[in-house]
Amino acid sequence: MTDRAVLAARIRQEHAHELPTFHAGCALDTSPCAVTAESLETRDATLTVTITCQSFAAESRGSDPAAAGTAVTVAVASTYTASGARRHIQLAEPEAWARAVFAEFDEDERRMYLLGGVDADTGRPQFGLVTYRLYLDARGVPIRVPPQLLEIPHYWVLPLE
């Protein structure tokens, strides 16, 4: 098991009651969920993890078929614990948080994307922020990002080996 997998399992165990579940569409609503926690890997850092769900409907375009479902966004903001000012954080812990949020999906079926240090709603860069996204179809099954929704770069996060 890799360090990221161990860290994701630890996060899932310690914060299971705060993280949403996606089975049977339970968390697929528009109310955001936020978890604030001390960083497990970076000294003097506090992480605020915000999980949002937003419905989408993309019409067919060229050879791209129509798609509808929910985009689930995990945004991890890092701040200095003492001052509250934003700070840089390595990608390992934000990725572990995203993996913990999406832990109920098998590695083989999960299509998690890194959007990077941008606000997913505006596409603008933000210091101390790392954003991940997962797309679910109308049945709650993970799907590839519909090409019609690619307004900002999406980088597929490969399964852990």
Task: Say whether pLDDT at 78 is over 60.
Answer: yes
Domain map (residue ranges) of the chain: 3-156
With pLDDT > 90 as the criterion, what percentage of the chain qualifies? 63
User: Using an 8 Å Cβ cutoff, are 73 and 120 in contact?
Assistant: yes
Region 94-104 average pLDDT: 92
Q: How many CB atoms lie within 10 A of CB 40?
A: 15
Q: What is the pTM of this model?
A: 0.90
Distance CA(12)–CA(87), nearest Å, equals 24
